[in-house]
Structure 1
């Protein structure tokens, strides 16, 4: 479509210079809750999965559990691609309402599943909504947060995944105990928790505006100015002081629509090294996390003789390490810098995982010993994984941001996330501890390889405006 008249704007600089306020906190809560939901979904299936193999529930096999996990991830991939394109085309705000609605329908359908296929299809629909959330939410958050705080906020939000994971693991204990409700009713109520969260999110999101950065690049200059002034008024009232002056002024050549070909060329022709980096980071973290968290319940029951109803007690501590990692290490991504912290966390996590793989292969770990090892690994790996999403969301031009997030999430998840649970479901089913250990070693190699990619191809984005990290396509 033909571009409209050029626009000179200081809106990105005005957003970046804002002090932290209640407005930013509201955005973080209303949008960041997505990761809580994803953590809830992934962990509750890991905790409840072994119980679903019992005749009194769905009578699934170990392989079924791994396959269903792959269905969820495949749905997330499809949702990310479709809604990623729609987010860049129609805006952030309209899409993050749609995706949460899809999630609610999917999780309610899961609670009423009656066999393998109904359960698998419901999980795919749930993943479809969650995958769409990633593109819309990451885009909106990056574009609404001040540049100097973007790294730590992004890592904290991604780390909130583990608050949901803790809720999923904790909820599974009373729901599967058989004390309060039957086990078959309990696992269904476990998935119903997500629907309740989703409905609450719908109410919160009405306070979140459209991204003024998206508005101005799509020719909506008046709407962008109104949105920015509204945000500034809210921040000014919150901090009760004058706002600092804005800086850089951009000349934008906006378009209503940026063709898919233009987006792909920007990622593959203009920024091929950045594309390779984003893919490497996404594949490594997706394989690691999906290999462990979708099937750890099976490892505990098969190799450590942990009763199926007690699995949540072992998964719950893992969420603590994962949650604390981004919180404790997140500020360093803004102060020390992106490149050293991303490379360092990936490398350390990979080295620790290799060590645990050998301990597991030699049967030197108890159930709690292995859980403690995972806590240490995931303290570091959770910061690494969060930085993968941060990298994909900030190193590409604004007009391609949601599609870039969606594309690299989808590719990383297809290559790492879909294959991992299905592969480990089969490896665990063999009963051979060394085969499972080899799977862990492969995951360790991916993490170390991603660290090397960051050293070679990484982009230092700490404290820099998004428009400096990657110039908008509409600026040219």
Structure 2
């Protein structure tokens, strides 16, 4: 092991956060986006494939003894339960052992479980490996979002995070169109086509794994966990590459931060930090995740069944409709993402949540009145989800940037797990019955539940969202490791190590002063 990789704790002063935040966009950043961000394409492919092939899996001759309700209800709930469990398990490991190790392990878990899903010949086998596939994907959420936010400059963090999370819908489009091909019995037998859709996920995952091997560890994680020399070497190499690429000298970083290095953080301190120091931010995280989870994990799981039950769309053609919805979902973060960095987090988060909820109420009214057919229903959904997808992506951005660095992966995991468990496990089990009953009023009730929770989450964001645009992660939430000198003083205008300068309290919206961390 090289000297730069030995973990030796102590007190250090570093400018690494400022050095990373002042970097211009470069090929290095594109490598991070491709290596880490493309995993959401796999997640979108997974969820969509199951939804669009649900009717085929339940048909006689599919090779799998399972019902439509079991696919969209039990299997969907198990997938989400696995994702919640994986997020918590791998989230803790990510904060303790590093981003890079875990985002390689979680992808390997996903690949193995997806391959085994393709080989399912019994319902219990299918359920088991749907759970394990979710387990790997849940771990990805924690490891990937924390790594991305710590590597992307603050100027671009909002839009990049939203677009990466929104790329889920590129996978959804691919899964929807792929299912049309796979479900065509003139090309593939009933018991083969659906297996090939899962097998494609394995192929894409292997390609991503090849790229991901070159993505580095987060320098922010490294300098806190006793690997400051390795972090400095990494950032120096990146700076040199960018200067050669642009032909310009980088400006000097303006601020430094002094920290007490540590090797890990316990669950008690994590819980105390999230709920005692940042209670309003914790409420915000819960609200955003529960709102988007009910809308997406609950209702869209049954979209194929809605088309079949209410509009007599053949099961082999639902993929075309879902591809249109997925396209609207991807356009939302792509076109609105920049506004989260310019207009600001609070108005954009609250606005996208509230507007999407209100539009969903209107869609439910149109549907209940009998004014929609399969095409216009799909168009209404595309408009609703254009705004909802930007809001849902901002939920991941929010919880990954408003808590201290030492708790980042675990914070993402915790809010994802709790919010998604509330909406993503109970939702499919509840709404599978509503959307498959064939009764219009039942489906309308499902829509209204999702709409109500989205609007409620938007209202919470009006009061509790944090103006994080353009700010360093260390200014948004003071790291727990920030050094406080003997006697309790705060030297050089630096925020105290207890983080009171930007923690929740009577003045929750108060921002840290400019230049919080001065060397």
- After TM superposition, give the deviation of residue 361 of structure 1 in Å: 2.2
- After TM superposition, give the deviation of residue 4 of structure 1 in Å: 3.6
**Range that drifts further, 71-80 or 54-63:** 54-63
Residue of structure 2 aligned with 1:62, choices 68, 75, 87: 68
* Preserved contact between residue 299 and residue 450 of structure 2 (Cα < 8 Å): no
Give the match for residue 174 of structure 1.
181
* Preserved contact between residue 62 and residue 425 of structure 1 (Cα < 8 Å): no
Question: Pairwise mapping of residues 10-89 of structure 1 onto structure 2 (< 5 A)?
Answer: 10-57=15-62, 58-65=64-71, 66-89=73-96
Give the match for residue 201 of structure 1.
208
Give the match for residue 133 of structure 1.
140
Measured against aligned partners, the alpha-carbon deviations of 1:268-290 in whole angstroms (never above 9, x if no partner) come to: 10001101101100010011011
Report whether the alignment pairs 1:445 with 2:432. Answer: no
Report whether the alignment pairs 1:253 with 2:298. Answer: no
Structure 2, gaps ≥5 residues long: 1-7, 483-496, 498-519
Greater relative contact order structure (CA < 8 Å, 6+ sep):
1
- 4+ long deviations beyond 4 Å: none
- After TM superposition, give the deviation of residue 363 of structure 1 in Å: 2.7
Residue of structure 2 aligned with 1:91, choices 98, 103, 108: 98
* Preserved contact between residue 151 and residue 330 of structure 1 (Cα < 8 Å): yes
**How far apart, CA to CA, are the structure 2 residues paired with 1:362 and 1:52?**
32
- After TM superposition, give the deviation of residue 107 of structure 1 in Å: 0.5
* Preserved contact between residue 399 and residue 472 of structure 1 (Cα < 8 Å): yes
| CA RMSD of superposed structures (Å) | 1.2
- After TM superposition, give the deviation of residue 201 of structure 1 in Å: 1.2
**Range that drifts further, 226-235 or 329-338:** 226-235
**How far apart, CA to CA, are the structure 2 residues paired with 1:360 and 1:422?**
22
Report whether the alignment pairs 1:347 with 2:354. Answer: yes
Q: Secondary structure at the match of 2:383?
A: helix
* Preserved contact between residue 299 and residue 446 of structure 2 (Cα < 8 Å): no
* Preserved contact between residue 354 and residue 454 of structure 2 (Cα < 8 Å): yes
**How far apart, CA to CA, are the structure 1 residues paired with 2:328 and 2:14?**
43
Structure 1, gaps ≥5 residues long: none
* Preserved contact between residue 57 and residue 68 of structure 2 (Cα < 8 Å): no
**How far apart, CA to CA, are the structure 1 residues paired with 2:409 and 2:22?**
23
Measured against aligned partners, the alpha-carbon deviations of 1:18-65 in whole angstroms (never above 9, x if no partner) come to: 000000001000000111111111111111111111011124223202
Q: Secondary structure at the match of 1:252?
A: strand
> How many matched pairs?
475
* Preserved contact between residue 284 and residue 450 of structure 1 (Cα < 8 Å): yes
Question: Pairwise mapping of residues 181-330 of structure 1 onto structure 2 (< 5 A)?
Answer: 181-330=188-337
Q: Secondary structure at the match of 2:469?
A: coil
- Greater radius of gyration (CA): 2
* Preserved contact between residue 307 and residue 318 of structure 2 (Cα < 8 Å): yes
* Preserved contact between residue 102 and residue 129 of structure 1 (Cα < 8 Å): yes
**How far apart, CA to CA, are the structure 2 residues paired with 1:194 and 1:453?**
37
Give the match for residue 474 of structure 1.
481
**How far apart, CA to CA, are the structure 2 residues paired with 1:119 and 1:177?**
22
